[in-house]
Structure 1
Amino acid sequence: MGRTGEHPRAAVGGVSVPDVRSWIDRFAELVHAERDRLTELDAAVGDADHGSNLDRGMKAAAAAAGELGDAAPGELLKKVGMTLVSTVGGASGPLYGTLFLRMGASLGEATDVDGPAFAAALRAGLVGVAARGKAEVGDKTLLDALTPAVDELDAVLAEGASLSEALGRASTAADAGRDATEPLVARKGRASYLGERSAGHQDPGATSVALLVAAAAQTL
């Protein structure tokens, strides 16, 4: 225990470089495990490549993060974002790349990242993805899972909860947002070409975002 009024780092919920690496590694593992499912979902509404593309990109991103050394968390996330942009085709590369690049920019060179700083970085990533995709909640995109997750993360942290607890509840919110995409009619992306036929299919992007938040809840 530290001085009076202080708390151990674990209680504060600080995020270190090893934590970020663990998050990226876990997300890569989950994407690999769910690759065929993501591709199956994308086959119904898109190009049937979301799983394979994201799996390839996250393998490369995890490797790049592992080679970066003792950079600050923000620099590591920027490296992940740049790797995804350069290795992933379709919409996944630019969108996930933007998410991590904006997170990295938000964190800057800080080496001590607490829960609110991490949440602010994730919010910056959300804003970047929304601008890049010109989408909003209800369009049947990854934002339908990411937005409620970020909102819940902010709300739970504001209650004084630890980052670990807040991320657990954010993961639950992401899962609910993912499931809520099934009856929606897509208004953005390739799925929008299907019109009413896009209803009845779970969005692959929202599904992979739920894995991203689950990975954070399991590791950070």
Structure 2
Amino acid sequence: MTLDVEWARRWVALAAQAITEAKDELVELDREIGDGDHGVNLDRGFAAVAAKIEGMDRPATVGEILTTVATTLMSSVGGASGPLYGTAFLRAGKVSGLAELGPDAVVALLEGALEGITSRGRAGVGEKTMVDAWAPAVEAAVRSAGAGDEPAAVLRAAADAAADGARSTIPLVASKGRASYLGERSAGHMDPGARSSAILLDAAARAAA
């Protein structure tokens, strides 16, 4: 089984719904260690994305959809989230110029997204950022695809690892972004970007299920 353009459409729709449902949670997480606008910004951005994708005229590839997600987020989401997620989806779109994605292509999509985030944010694992969700997601996807799993299972492995990665940020002291200004006081709180990353990857896995 492969993942096609309709899967990508479902991903966007489910992601927009999930972000709306998690908006207050994301706002509270960001209020604890940031500006408090992460949930509001992402909700606005993915509402715009969902509307844009719904109105697209028969996209031929998954990459077309992901690139449209990227440009829409960049133009509609403020703060650091817009550029970070925009670059993630842009890089993912560049390696997803196919009508259907098999397991290896799913891995390439996730690797592209992680590369976009790290190149834009200059962050690494353990610095209490969304990288702490995406890096284990990629590692889990590589293992799953290497074991011969179908694309849906690869995405589920990635999503579960991202959720674990988001939880792993709670005890960390932030060394990047606005949360780093708090120093030791940033420990004890989940990183909002890692949490929203886990939400988005869960939506991708549910769209494929």
TM-score w.r.t. length of structure 1: 0.92
Preserved contact between residue 26 and residue 219 of structure 1 (Cα < 8 Å): yes
Residue in structure 1 matching 2:70, options 62, 81, 87? 81
Q: 1:160 and 2:160 equivalent?
A: no
Distance between the aligned counterparts of 2:81 and 2:23, measured in 1?
13
Partner residue, 2:169: 181
Q: 1:131 and 2:115 equivalent?
A: no
Distance between the aligned counterparts of 1:81 and 1:95, measured in 2?
9
Partner residue, 1:67: 55
CA RMSD of aligned residues (A): 0.9
**What are the superposed Cα offsets for residues 110-167 of structure 1, whole Å, 9 maximum, x if unpaired?**
2232221121022011011101000001010001011101110111111001111222
Structure 2 unmatched ranges of 5 or more: none
Give runs of aligned pairs for residues 200-215 of structure 1, distance below 5 A. 200-215=188-203
Preserved contact between residue 106 and residue 154 of structure 2 (Cα < 8 Å): no
Residue in structure 1 matching 2:90, options 101, 106, 130? 101
Q: Which amino acid aligns with 2:27?
A: T
Distance between the aligned counterparts of 2:58 and 2:124, measured in 1?
36
**What are the superposed Cα offsets for residues 17-38 of structure 1, whole Å, 9 maximum, x if unpaired?**
1110100111111110010000
Q: Which amino acid aligns with 2:119?
A: A
SS of 1:36's equivalent in the other structure is helix
Q: 1:52 and 2:12 equivalent?
A: no
Distance between the aligned counterparts of 1:203 and 1:15, measured in 2?
30
Percent of paired sites with the same residue: 47
Preserved contact between residue 17 and residue 70 of structure 1 (Cα < 8 Å): no
When Rg is computed on C-alpha atoms for both structures, the one with the higher figure is: 1
Distance between the aligned counterparts of 1:164 and 1:139, measured in 2?
29
Q: Displacement of 1:210 after TM fit?
A: 0.6
SS of 1:94's equivalent in the other structure is helix
Distance between the aligned counterparts of 1:155 and 1:69, measured in 2?
36
Distance between the aligned counterparts of 2:152 and 2:90, measured in 1?
23
How many residues matched? 207
Structure 1 unmatched ranges of 5 or more: 1-11
Distance between the aligned counterparts of 1:113 and 1:69, measured in 2?
20
**What are the superposed Cα offsets for residues 1-45 of structure 1, whole Å, 9 maximum, x if unpaired?**
xxxxxxxxxxx3x11111101001111111100100000000010
Partner residue, 1:7: none
TM-score w.r.t. length of structure 2: 0.97
Q: Which amino acid aligns with 2:188?
A: G
Partner residue, 2:8: 20
Q: 1:35 and 2:23 equivalent?
A: yes
Distance between the aligned counterparts of 2:110 and 2:133, measured in 1?
13
**What are the superposed Cα offsets for residues 166-208 of structure 1, whole Å, 9 maximum, x if unpaired?**
2222221111101110000001000001111100111000000
